[in-house]
């Protein structure tokens, strides 16, 4: 075949670019560029044209390159996770603060300062792989720690309780939450009949309902949320003593959420909002960090506690058992390839190491089966631990062998034990002392399908969560319930939910009923155990009440026009930098603007493509001429009115005032006038509160 030989001068020198007879572009290997091959390593001469008889003739079956390429493409997809399908992962490490040999022999906790490689995958639960990031949903927080004694997975969520108490209910819960099977919608939402039907018939979910209706399920960033191991586990020391433990991940930059109206708009403006945020943070060297906290308690505490420590619908309040911070998790490296790592990573709750053990929590017991089982479906065989992201980073010696895609096969004669072959030939041997030993908890009792009466109080902690929220958070819970239930078409289901709310808090039940327009309050749902009203609030449960008093890691969106005051822009930049925050310039054109000093200012977003929902706080720095040009622009109006409605702090140059007037907002204490460069410092100071909540509570 003859090829034209046009050399494109704009290409790197080590690539040759030629045009084929049909005008197609061929990029051929030059110095330093690898030669394209088939999967068998055969060099490819032409990746643009299939093998034909003549230029316009039929394609030949003989074309092994075409067949292999299409075959491979046809098999690119693997089943998405049945839950937690949409996720995003990053590498990092866990650093131990102190030696914990007094409570656990887990190797990673023995030496202060030691770093253990880690991989974390964050996820939403209900949505498919392509669903938007800021759906109202629980976030998965799954951590794989590659310890020297094997992989330890803490497969947790950003909420410390769960919907159900027994794993046998999990398929029902997920069926009810996912799109309804006849119509296949709604996607990534619990605002539909099936979900609330199931929930309202499952009172054990009521504590979790308070959490999912709170702002916890619309986090501002994966970096600004807590993580929890949820279940009670055991730590076991070298002498075999056991301590109960609950695992917490505490974000160094504090917690922060968005508001619901903002979330709805964010999902349109940037469906990848959370993954982009994590990517940007890690790529720019702002490594997200969490501290591992342990709540440690003994059998005596467990016996005296108001609730059953095996019940995953309950927390142990931090005020009762303080969280001891024993190390930090730092994420400092994105994956090389999303599919190979984030998609193929396989977390299993059964992955524990010597020094960590399970309890009889019936949810955990079922999970220990389900996660291993699901990997067969997703990854296609028993050798998924041979995939690099799942492979331990310590020696692995086993007589388990063969199966699909075996990558790690033993050499030597013995593939069984006991055997009498010595040395290398004989293969690995057991380690009775240092090997994993289950804690010998005594067990007895009749075999029966029952739920322990100690699991029967479904409302008291739900109330405790509600009363631990500050006023604005309580109003968000009420509004979220009204929103979700307004999407439920069956009135009986709406009323049934309200009947449960009456066992939680009458104000909440009344507010929701009024918001839904229920004519009368339904009677309270029958409760297996009288709900308690005497549990002390737990201030640790509030996000707003525990605001981090920093704007670090956050972003200011600055709307500019031609002729914007250069000194003010510079002041904002310096103040943000000093705080560890970022400035994003939003301009009428993405090419940027010429500021008042005649210098060019780059823009990262074009007006309309950078709505204020993307930013934690905003500033409007326009010239008088710019304000005139932007007057009446709907994108400007939305930028301002959304920032105002979402309780954001706003800074403005004097010339921008007419834009605020036409957006119909009333400037309040959350607004800072920028008259000189130094005013930006006061603005950043105000931003420490993250949101001007007074605007919502009045």
Active site residues: 84, 157
- CB of 246 vs ligand HDD, minimal distance in Å: 11
Count of CB atoms situated within 10 Å of the CB of 247: 21
Residue 314: CB minimum distance to ligand HDD, A: 12
Structure tokens at 464: 């405790």
115 class by beta-carbon count within 10 Å (0-12 exposed, 13-18 middle, 19+ buried): middle
> Which residue, 370 or 546, has its beta carbon nearer to ligand HDD?
370
Nearest of 21, 16, 29 to residue 49 by alpha carbon: 21
Q: DSSP readout, 459-488?
A: SHHHHHHHHTS-HHHHHHHHHHHHHHHHT-
Residue 658 φ then ψ, to 5° = -60, -30
Closest distance between ligand HDD and the C-beta of residue 164, in Å? Answer: 7
Question: Roughly what angle, to the nearest 10 degrees, separates helices 491-504 and 506-516?
Answer: 160
Q: What is the CA radius of gyration of the chain?
A: 29
Nearer of residues 361 and 457 to ligand HDD, judged by Cβ: 361
* Cis previous bond, 418, omega within 30: yes
Torsion of CA 649, 652, 658, 663, to 10 degrees: -20
- Provide, rounded to whole angstroms, the least separation between the CB of residue 541 and ligand HDD: 17
Min dist. Cβ of residue 363 to ligand HDD (A): 5
The full length of the chain comes to 698
Cα–Cα distance, 229 to 160 (Å, whole number): 7
Least Cα distance to 556 among 472, 508, 467, 617 occurs for: 617
Identity of the residue, 345 or 640, whose beta carbon is nearer to ligand HDD in the bound complex: 345
Measured at the CA of 491, the angle between CA 487 and CA 497, to 5 degrees, comes to 80
222 sits in the region (left: phi over 0; alpha: psi -120 to 50; else beta) called alpha
Contact between residue 632 and residue 654 where contact means Cβ atoms under 8 Å apart? no
Q: Name, in order, each residue with C-beta under 8 angstroms of 23's C-beta and a sequence gap of 6 or more.
A: none
Enter the tokens of residue 174.
């997920």
Q: Check if the beta carbon of residue 458 is closer than 8 Å to that of residue 527.
A: yes
Nearest residue to 569 via CA among 559, 579, 578: 559
Closest contact distance (angstroms) between CB of 83 and ligand HDD is 5
Nearest approach, Cβ of 84 to ligand HDD (angstroms)?
Answer: 3
Closer by beta carbon to ligand HDD, 230 or else 504: 230
- Three-state DSSP class for residue 93: strand
**Torsion sign, CA atoms 620, 622, 627, 630:** negative
| Residue closer to ligand HDD (CB basis): 128 or 370 | 370
Identify which of 356, 335, 396, 303 has the alpha carbon closest to the alpha carbon of residue 121. Answer: 335
Question: For residues 93 and 371, which CB has a smaller minimum distance to ligand HDD in the complex?
Answer: 371
Smaller CB separation from ligand HDD, 164 or 264: 164
Given a contact cutoff of 8 angstroms between Cβ atoms, the answer to whether 93 and 332 are in contact is yes
Classified as helix, coil or strand, 253 is coil
Please identify the residue of the shown chain whose CB is closest to the bound ligand HDD. 140
- CA 676 centroid distance within chain: 40
Q: How far is the CB of 153 from ligand HDD (least distance, A)?
A: 9
Of the pair 455, 649, the CB lying nearest ligand HDD is at 455
User: Smallest gap, in angstroms, from Cβ of residue 284 to ligand HDD?
Assistant: 24
Distance CA 116, CA 94 (A): 5
User: Is the separation of the CB atoms in 355 and 294 below 8 Å?
Assistant: no
Check whether the bond before 186 is cis (ω within 30° of 0).
yes
Cβ 229 to ligand HDD, closest distance in Å?
Answer: 8
Using DSSP, state whether 197 is helix, strand or coil: helix
- Calpha distance 648→666 (Å, rounded): 13
Q: Residue 619 and residue 556: Cα distance in Å, rounded?
A: 7
In a 10 Å sphere around its CB, with 0-12 CB exposed, 13-18 middle and 19+ buried, how is residue 589 labelled? exposed
In terms of CB distance, is 15 or 370 closer to ligand HDD? 370
Question: Closest separation between CB of residue 353 and ligand HDD, Å?
Answer: 18
CB of 446: closest distance to ligand HDD in angstroms?
24
Name the 3-class secondary structure at 263. helix
- Residue 166 or 570 having the CB closest to ligand HDD: 166
Nearer to ligand HDD, 368 or 604 (CB): 368
Question: Which residues of the shown chain bind ligand HDD in the complex (CB under 6 A)?
Answer: 81-84, 87, 121, 123, 140, 142, 155-157, 162, 167, 170, 230, 312, 345, 347, 363, 366-367, 370-371, 374
How far, in Å, CA of 201 to CA of 675, rounded? Answer: 59
Please report the DSSP string for 13-39 in residue order: TTEEEEE-TTS-EEEEE-TTSPPPB-T
Task: Name which of 246 and 692 has its Cβ closer to ligand HDD.
Answer: 246
CB-CB contact of 203 with 242 (8 Å): no
Residue 108 or 173: the one with the smaller Cβ distance to ligand HDD is 173
Q: Least CB distance from residue 166 to ligand HDD, whole Å?
A: 8
């Amino acid at each position: 075949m003859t090829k034209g030989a046009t050399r494109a001068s704009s290409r790197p020198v080590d690539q040759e670019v030629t045009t084929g007879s049909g005008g197609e572009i061929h990029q051929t290997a030059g110095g330093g560029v690898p030669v394209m091959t088939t999967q068998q390593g055969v060099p490819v001469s032409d990746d643009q044209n299939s093998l034909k008889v003549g230029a316009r003739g039929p394609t030949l079956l003989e074309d092994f390159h075409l067949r292999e390429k299409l075959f491979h493409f046809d098999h690119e997809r693997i089943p998405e996770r049945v839950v937690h399908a949409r996720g995003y992962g990053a590498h990092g490490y866990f650093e131990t603060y102190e030696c914990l040999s007094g409570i656990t022999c887990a190797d990673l906790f023995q030496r202060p300062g030691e770093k253990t490689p880690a991989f974390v995958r964050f996820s939403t639960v209900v949505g498919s792989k392509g669903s938007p990031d800021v759906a109202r949903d629980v976030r998965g927080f799954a951590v794989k720690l590659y310890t020297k004694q094997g992989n330890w997975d803490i497969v947790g969520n950003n909420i410390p309780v769960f919907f159900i108490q027994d794993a046998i209910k999990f398929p029902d819960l997920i069926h009810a939450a996912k799109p309804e099977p006849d119509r296949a919608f709604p996607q990534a939402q619990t605002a539909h009949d099936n979900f609330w039907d199931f929930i309202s018939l499952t009172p054990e979910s009521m504590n979790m309902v308070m959490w999912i209706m709170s702002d916890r399920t619309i986090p501002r960033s994966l970096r600004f949320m807590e993580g929890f191991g949820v279940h009670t586990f055991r730590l076991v020391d070298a002498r075999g003593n056991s301590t109960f433990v609950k695992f917490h991940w505490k974000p160094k930059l504090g917690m922060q959420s968005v508001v619901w109206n903002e979330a709805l708009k964010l999902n349109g403006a940037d469906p990848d909002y959370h993954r982009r945020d994590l990517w940007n943070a890690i790529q720019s060297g702002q490594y997200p960090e969490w501290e591992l906290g342990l709540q440690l308690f003994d059998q005596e505490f467990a016996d005296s506690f108001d609730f059953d420590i095996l019940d995953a619908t309950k927390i142990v309040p931090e005020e009762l058992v303080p969280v001891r911070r024993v190390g930090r998790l730092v994420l400092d490296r994105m994956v090389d390839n999303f599919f190979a790592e984030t998609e193929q990573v396989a977390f299993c709750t059964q992955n524990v190491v010597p020094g960590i053990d399970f309890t009889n929590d019936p949810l955990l017991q079922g999970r220990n089966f389900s996660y291993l089982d699901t990997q067969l479906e997703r990854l296609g065989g028993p050798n998924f631990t041979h995939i690099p992201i799942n492979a331990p980073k310590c020696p692995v010696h086993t007589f388990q062998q063969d199966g699909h895609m075996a990558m790690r096969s033993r050499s030597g004669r013995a593939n069984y034990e006991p055997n009498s072959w010595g040395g290398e030939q004989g293969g690995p041997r057991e380690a009775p002392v240092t090997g994993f030993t289950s804690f010998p908890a005594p067990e007895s009792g009749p075999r029966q399908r029952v739920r322990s009466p100690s699991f029967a109080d479904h409302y008291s902690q739900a109330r405790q969560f509600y009363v631990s929220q500050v006023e604005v958070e309580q109003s968000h819970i009420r509004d979220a319930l009204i929103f979700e239930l307004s999407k439920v078409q069956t009135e009986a289901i709406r009323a049934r939910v309200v009947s449960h709310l009456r066992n939680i808090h009458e104000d909440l039940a009344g507010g929701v009923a009024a918001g839904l327009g229920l004519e009368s309050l339904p009677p309270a749902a029958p409760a297996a155990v009288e709900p308690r009203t005497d549990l002390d609030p737990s201030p640790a449960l509030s996000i707003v009440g525990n605001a981090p008093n920093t704007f670090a890691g956050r972003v200011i969106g600055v709307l500019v026009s031609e002729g914007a005051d250069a000194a003010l822009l510079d002041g904002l930049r310096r103040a943000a930098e000093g705080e560890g925050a970022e400035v994003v310039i939003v301009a009428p054109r993405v090419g940027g603007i010429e500021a008042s000093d005649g210098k060019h200012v780059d823009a990262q977003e074009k007006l309309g493509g950078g709505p204020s929902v993307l930013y934690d706080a905003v500033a409007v720095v326009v010239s008088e001429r710019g304000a005139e040009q932007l007057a009446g622009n709907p994108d400007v109006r939305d930028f301002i009115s959304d920032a105002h409605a979402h309780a954001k702090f706003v800074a403005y140059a004097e010339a921008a005032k007419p834009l605020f007037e036409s957006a119909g907002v009333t400037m309040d204490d959350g607004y800072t006038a920028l008259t000189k460069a130094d005013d930006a410092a006061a603005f950043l100071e105000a931003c420490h509160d993250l949101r001007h909540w007074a605007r919502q509570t009045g």
